[in-house]
């Protein structure tokens, strides 16, 4: 009889590990675990996901470029950029003439993003930082995007609030919502469609629209309320916020960004990634 209880225990442990590490991708174990798992999988990530370039352009690059075409030199933030999926899709579009900032907490994923976005190196900036504390002032970007990332953060509401905070009035928000079968196993991380819309309606957003996209994900579009204000790319030193003291605007010196108030230094690594986070 003992062997049966041992077998049940092994099965339950295996099921728990599968839930935590495969379905939830470590999200209930904290951001460091999520980042570590993505660091491990980074070399195989593109092969595992199997992104189709034509599909990426049709559903991501082209519609986002069209949404921004009336904005001069649009400034775009991609939260949870991974291997640079969104920057590649957007910069490939001839009508997009702006700049994309890609942010992620997995340093190794960013290393691959730096390689894959090399053809657009002058139009893409990569930052190593946690999405829960975006290192930018209010009203900085003309569009904020986050693909297949929200459900793997400890507090999706907090991350959404941060993304809307740095979005300019009239700016475009494009995020995904997990809706497939596995979403049932992600309580407080994934939301039913109407509940997700209700969550967005609590924020200063309008024109919220759900676009059915994949078996596991919807694309959700919205605009920040308010009269559109300008647009245009701004130098990173001007908009980068010190993670220690909160000072906006840093001094670019010797391949690094230094806070004039507290002296905190955010180095630019040899691969070009701006390292705001710390080990």
Q: Is residue 84 domain-shared with residue 169, that is, in the same domain?
A: yes
pLDDT band of 5, cuts 50, 70, 90: low
Judge whether residue 17 has pLDDT over 60: no
pLDDT category, 4, cuts 50, 70, 90? low
- pLDDT for position 35: 84
Q: What confidence tens digit (pLDDT) does each residue in 119-153 have?
A: 999 999 999 999 999 999 999 999 999 999 999 89
What is d(CA 277, CA 108) in angstroms, rounded to the nearest whole number?
A: 13
Mean pLDDT, residues 211-234 taken together: 88
Question: Does residue 6 lie in a domain region?
Answer: no
Query: What digits encode the pLDDT tens for the residues 169-214?
Result: 999 999 999 998 888 878 888 899 999 999 999 999 999 999 998 8
CATH number for 69: 3.40.50.150
Rounded to the nearest integer, the mean pLDDT of the chain is 89
Q: Answer whether residue 87 is part of any domain.
A: yes
My answer on whether 160 and 80 are in the same domain is yes
- Shared domain for 65 and 198, answered yes or no, is yes
- According to the model, what pLDDT value does residue 7 have? 66
Q: Are 273 and 256 in contact (CB under 8 A)?
A: no
Residue 41 falls inside a structural domain: no
pLDDT band, very low/low/confident/very high, at 26 (cuts 50, 70, 90): low
* Same domain for 271 and 144: no
Q: Is 138 exposed, middle or buried (0-12, 13-18, 19+ CB in 10 A)?
A: exposed
Residue 201 lies in a domain: yes
pLDDT band at residue 22 under the 50/70/90 scheme: low
Do 214 and 77 reside in the same domain of the chain?
A: yes
Local confidence band at 1 (pLDDT 50, 70, 90 cut-offs) = low
Own/partner pairs, 51-55, CB within 8 angstroms, 24+ separation: 51/85
Are 89 and 196 part of one and the same domain?
Answer: yes
Looking at the fold, whether 208 and 99 belong to one and the same domain comes out as: yes
- For residue 6 the two structure tokens come to 């041992």
Task: Note down the domain range covering 265.
Answer: 236-275
Beta strands in 133-204 (DSSP E): 141-146, 167-178
pLDDT band with cut points at 50, 70 and 90 for residue 238: very high
Q: Residue 52 has what pLDDT? A: 86
Mean pLDDT over 253-266 rounds to 91
Query: Are residues 212 and 85 part of one domain?
Result: yes
CA distances from residue 40 to 31, 132, 189, 247 in whole angstroms, order as listed: 14, 22, 22, 34
Residue 204 belongs to a domain: yes
**Structural domain count of the chain:** 2
Could you give the maximum distance between any two Cα atoms of the chain, in Å? Answer: 72
Selection from 229, 218, 215, 177 nearest residue 199 by Cα: 177
Kindly state whether residues 165 and 248 are assigned to the same domain. Answer: no
- Nearest 5°: CA angle at 62, between 139 and 81? 55
Do 123 and 60 share a structural domain? yes
C-beta separation of 175 from 220 below 8 A? yes
Q: What's the CA gap between 145 and 195, in Å, rounded?
A: 20
Tell whether 266 is covered by a domain.
Answer: yes
- Please indicate, yes or no, if residue 38 is contained in any of the structural domains: no
**pLDDT value of residue 106:** 95
pLDDT tens, position by position, 75-111: 999 999 999 999 999 999 999 999 999 999 999 999 9
- Dump pLDDT digits (tens) for 44-63: 989 988 888 888 898 999 99
Residues 168 and 188 in one domain: yes
Say whether both 267 and 174 belong to one domain: no
C-alpha of 128 from chain center:
11
Q: Are 87 and 116 in contact (CB under 8 A)?
A: no
Give 90: exposed, middle or buried? Use CB within 10 Å, 0-12, 13-18, 19+. buried
With respect to residue 1, please indicate whether it lies within any of the assigned structural domains. Answer: no
């Amino acid at each position: 009889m003992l062997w049966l209880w041992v077998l049940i225990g092994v099965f339950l442990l295996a099921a728990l590990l599968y839930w935590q590490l495969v379905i939830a991708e470590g999200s209930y174990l904290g951001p460091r675990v999520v980042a570590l798992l993505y660091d491990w999988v980074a070399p195989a990530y593109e092969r595992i996901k199997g992104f189709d370039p034509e599909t990426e352009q049709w559903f991501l690059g082209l519609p986002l470029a069209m949404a921004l075409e009336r904005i001069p030199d649009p400034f775009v933030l991609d939260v949870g950029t991974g291997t640079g999926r969104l920057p590649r899709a957007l910069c490939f579009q001839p009508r997009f003439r702006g700049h994309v900032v890609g942010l992620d907490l997995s340093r190794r994923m960013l290393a691959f993003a730096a390689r894959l976005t090399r053809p657009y190196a002058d139009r893409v900036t990569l930052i190593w930082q946690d999405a829960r504390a975006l290192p930018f002032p209010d009203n900085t970007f003309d569009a904020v995007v986050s693909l297949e990332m929200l459900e793997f953060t400890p507090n999706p509401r907090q991350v959404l609030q941060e993304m809307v905070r740095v979005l300019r009035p009239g700016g475009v928000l494009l995020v995904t919502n997990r809706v497939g079968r596995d979403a049932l196993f992600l309580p407080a991380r994934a939301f039913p469609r109407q509940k997700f819309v209700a969550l967005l309606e609590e924020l200063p957003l309008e024109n919220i629209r759900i676009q059915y996209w994949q078996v596991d994900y919807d694309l959700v579009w919205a605009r920040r309320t308010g009269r559109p204000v300008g647009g245009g790319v701004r130098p990173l030193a001007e908009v980068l916020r010190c993670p220690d003291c909160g000072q906006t605007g840093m001094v670019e010196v010797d391949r690094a960004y230094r806070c004039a108030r507290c002296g905190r230094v955010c180095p630019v690594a040899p691969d070009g990634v701006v390292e705001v986070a710390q080990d």
